[in-house]
Homo-oligomer: A and B are copies of this chain.
Amino acid sequence: MKPTHLHLTEDCRAVSAVLQRVGDKWTILVVQRLGGGPKRFNELRNEVGGISQKMLTTTLRSLERDGFVTRTVFPTIPPRVDYELTDLGRELQVPVNALGEWARANIGRINAAREKFDRSIAA
């Protein structure tokens, strides 16, 4: 048995899978907006901005399937649908926010590296 602080390939695939899951174009933006409490479909649509109806539907369905959000339909006319983070969804925000914090703190270093790299390519 290996020491438990070393998580090797078996686990690493799961990590990669989750990162790909939350790494798609809209997931994080939607989850972040839902952090402030339940929201309706078009409310999300407006707040996220730039997302198509199709992609918001798709993103929310995936989040629901993975147990990150709940979908509540109010059978009124016109219909009203609320989306809300589950416990699992709120717990996901913790490590995601940590990564976000790191991104905020280091985006300058990344951009500097890119510019340097691109300049050395042009030469």
Contact = CB atoms under 8 A, between A and B. Distances in A.
Interface of A: 7, 9, 11-26, 28-29, 32, 49, 64-67, 88, 91-92, 94-96, 98-104, 106-107, 109-110, 112-114, 116-118
Contacts of A65: 113-114, 117-118
Given A19-B23, A109-B67, A11 B114 contact: no
A100 B67 contact: no
B100 A15 contact: yes
Given A16-B29, A49-B9, A99-B19, A66 B114 contact: yes
A14 B28 CA distance: 11
Nearest to A88: B109
